[in-house]
């Protein structure tokens, strides 16, 4: 017996889709890697360890309403479910509590969310160097912070986590902003169209003002970043109105986010290169319909749209699923979708402005030092990859065969964007022509013991809240 729809991921997109499907009486199973619904953006919003979760901002607190509505819906939720195979036949395999489970779906909605763009500077693999997203995970999940840390990079998330630290009384050693000065001129023509998202612009300006008022040293137009230290991080050195150095035990890096590609790639969905976001996007229509008829994608996993956009996309994908299941006629779906599609167009204009403004420098997006580690899993350096290229590897899969770069447990999540960029640069080709890793199931390490504990899940046993 198959579920009407299996949703992978319980972030804003997955929860919104599940709500819509359950409201119309359809069986929806949500498989979520997290311990509780919310995804990264609303992580632990219902069980925050912080004495006052409002310190994380009104957008975070507002997520509690969505999580509550989802939790009280008819959708089946399985926490700690790690999906590692999606078949074209609608069969899904996932790990849960030391067992392998199988479920069948008439429709599949993939909402894998985003990953942070790697910043492969010298020393980025040293202990004490993490991402701004990791700082948020520690803060939201365990109320853990790093005193006197350096935050380096650019983009809204970087400024948000610094502001959250300051609201909690945590000292910040410095904010090193790598936004190129020329980006402001490049983004200026897009500002009038982006003013439809004035509320979002105002939030961003308020964050920057909050950081300045707190007296945090802010260094702008920073270049030539490198981590200090041999055995662990001891600080950050960079150029901003001269050579600068900040001593710190913890350095948080952030350079924007990318769609998490592994699940959609392993399924063989069509992708295309988005030059504005410098990322691979799933090729889909306005309702999230992918190149496979029964598979849809919503939220940041298909292309970065933000939390509000993800909620709209999740609902639209669910409307399309209902249409495919015969619950809606297409004209009814289109009529109901009209306001949300209009909101997405407004958000897209703002997103184009943000993407242009915070587009990272090539010298920070791609490694410059030959000894910089590119593949953390297999410890492959830039010089190793260059040697593989000179030996004839011209695409990511050929380079993987020669160097093992991308063969580790993360299956290229960290090195994949860098490898495609390097090969494009070395051959003076568009990234679209270079391509990406060819991925296959399983998408995680499995033990034979786990695989031997095999169970099939059917709709009346879909899981519990």
Distance of alpha carbon 21 from the chain centroid: 24
**Number of helices and strands in the chain (H, E):** 16, 22
Q: Is the pLDDT of residue 367 over 70?
A: yes
**What's the pLDDT at 182?**
96
Q: Which CATH class is domain 119-254?
A: alpha beta
What are the φ/ψ torsions at residue 452 (nearest 5 degrees)? -75, -20
Q: For residue 81, with 0-12 CB atoms within 10 Å meaning exposed, 13-18 middle and 19 or more buried, which class applies?
A: buried
Q: Is the pLDDT of residue 462 over 50?
A: no
Please report, rounded to a whole number, the percentage of residues in the chain having pLDDT higher than 90.
85
Among the ranges given (7-21, 119-133, 436-450), the one the predictor scored with the smallest mean pLDDT: 436-450
Mean pLDDT for 432-441 is 94
Work out whether strand 28-32 and strand 114-116 pair parallel, antiparallel, or are unpaired: unpaired
> Fold identical between 3-115+258-328 and 119-254?
yes
Mean pLDDT for 157-172 is 94
Query: Whole-angstrom Cα distance, residue 453 to residue 456?
Result: 10
Q: Is the pLDDT of residue 464 over 80?
A: no
Task: Determine the 3-state secondary structure of 248 from DSSP.
Answer: coil
State the pLDDT confidence band at 197, using cuts at 50, 70 and 90: low
Query: Whole-angstrom Cα distance, residue 128 to residue 119?
Result: 15
Among the ranges given (50-54, 102-106, 248-252, 292-296), the one the predictor scored with the smallest mean pLDDT: 50-54
Contact 402, 388 (CB under 8 A): yes
Please indicate whether residue 163 or residue 54 has the higher confidence score (pLDDT).
163
- Extents of the domains making up the chain: 3-115+258-328, 119-254, 363-434
Mean pLDDT for 93-120 is 96
**What's the pLDDT at 196?**
75
Mean pLDDT for 382-394 is 97
Instruction: Give the tens place of pLDDT for each residue, 281-321.
Output: 999 999 999 999 999 999 999 999 999 999 999 999 999 99
The first and second tokens of residue 390, run together, are 């000179």
Which helix (H) or strand (E) element contains residue 208? Answer: helix 198-213
Query: Whole-angstrom Cα distance, residue 38 to residue 61?
Result: 11
The whole-chain average pLDDT of the chain stands at 94
Instruction: Give the tens place of pLDDT for each residue, 128-146.
Output: 999 999 999 999 999 999 9
What are the φ/ψ torsions at residue 83 (nearest 5 degrees)? -70, 130
Q: Any idea which fold 363-434 has? A: Arc Repressor Mutant, subunit A (1.10.10)
Mean pLDDT for 105-123 is 96
**What's the pLDDT at 198?**
64
Contact 313, 288 (CB under 8 A): yes
Q: What is the pTM of this model?
A: 0.94
Which helix (H) or strand (E) element contains residue 383? Answer: helix 382-390
Query: Whole-angstrom Cα distance, residue 165 to residue 182?
Result: 29
Instruction: Give the tens place of pLDDT for each residue, 220-233.
Output: 999 999 999 999 99
**What's the pLDDT at 55?**
84
**What's the pLDDT at 1?**
81
- Alpha-carbon distances, residue 254 vs 91, 133, 154, 186 (angstroms): 36, 8, 6, 21
User: Comparing C-alpha atoms, which of 47, 355, 411 is closest to residue 190?
Assistant: 355
Instruction: Give the tens place of pLDDT for each residue, 317-363.
Output: 999 999 999 999 999 999 999 999 999 999 999 999 999 999 999 99
Among the ranges given (206-210, 238-242, 292-296, 403-407), the one the predictor scored with the smallest mean pLDDT: 206-210
> Which CATH number does the domain 3-115+258-328 belong to among 3.40.50.620, 3.30.9.10, 3.40.50.1000, 3.50.50.60?
3.50.50.60
Mean pLDDT for 391-418 is 94
């Amino acid at each position: 017996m198959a579920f009407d729809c299996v949703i992978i991921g319980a972030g804003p997109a997955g929860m919104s889709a599940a709500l819509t499907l359950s409201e119309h009486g359809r069986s929806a199973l949500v498989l979520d890697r997290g311990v509780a619904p919310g995804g990264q953006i609303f992580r632990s919003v219902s069980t925050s360890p912080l004495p006052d979760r409002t310190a994380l901002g009104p957008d975070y607190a507002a997520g509690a309403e969505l999580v509550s509505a989802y939790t009280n819906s008819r959708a089946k939720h399985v926490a700690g479910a790690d999906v590692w195979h999606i078949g074209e036949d609608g069969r899904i395999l996932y790990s849960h509590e030391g067992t392998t489970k199988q479920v069948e779906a008439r429709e599949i909605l993939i909402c894998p969310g985003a990953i942070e763009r790697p910043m492969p500077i010298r020393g980025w693999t040293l202990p004490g160097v993490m991402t701004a997203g990791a700082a948020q995970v520690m803060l939201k999940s365990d109320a853990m912070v790093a005193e006197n840390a350096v935050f380096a990079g650019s983009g809204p998330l970087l400024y948000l986590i610094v502001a959250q630290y300051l609201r909690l009384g945590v000292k910040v050693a410095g904010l090193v902003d790598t936004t190129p000065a020329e980006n402001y001129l490049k983004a200026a023509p897009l500002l009038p169209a982006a003013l439809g998202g004035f509320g979002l612009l105002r939030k961003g300006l308020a964050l920057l003002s909050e950081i300045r008022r707190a007296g945090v040293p802010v260094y702008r137009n920073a270049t030539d970043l490198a981590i200090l230290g041999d055995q662990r991080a001891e600080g950050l050195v960079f150029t901003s109105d001269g050579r600068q150095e900040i001593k710190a035990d913890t350095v948080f890096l952030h350079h924007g986010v990318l769609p998490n590609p592994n699940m959609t790639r392993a399924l063989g969905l069509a992708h295309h290169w988005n030059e504005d976001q410098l990322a691979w996007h799933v090729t889909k229509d306005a309702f999230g319909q992918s190149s496979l008829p029964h598979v849809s994608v919503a939220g940041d996993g298909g292309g970065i749209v933000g939390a509000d956009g993800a909620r709209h996309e999740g609902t639209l994908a669910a409307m399309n699923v209902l249409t495919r299941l015969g619950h809606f006629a297409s004209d009814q779906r289109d009529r109901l979708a009209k306001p949300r599609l209009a909101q997405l167009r407004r958000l897209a204009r703002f997103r184009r402005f943000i993407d242009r403004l915070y587009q990272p420098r090539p010298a920070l997006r791609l490694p410059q030092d030959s000894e910089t580690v590119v593949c953390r899993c297999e410890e492959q350096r830039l010089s190793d990859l260059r040697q593989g290229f000179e030996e004839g590897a011209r695409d990511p899969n050929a380079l993987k065969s020669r160097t093992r770069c991308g063969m580790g447990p993360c299956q290229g999540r960290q090195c994949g964007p860098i490898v495609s960029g390097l090969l494009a640069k070395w051959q003076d080709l568009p990234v679209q022509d270079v391509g990406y890793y060819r991925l296959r199931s399983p998408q995680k390490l499995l033990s034979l013991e786990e695989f031997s504990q095999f169970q099939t899940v059917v709709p009346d046993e879909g899981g519990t809240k």
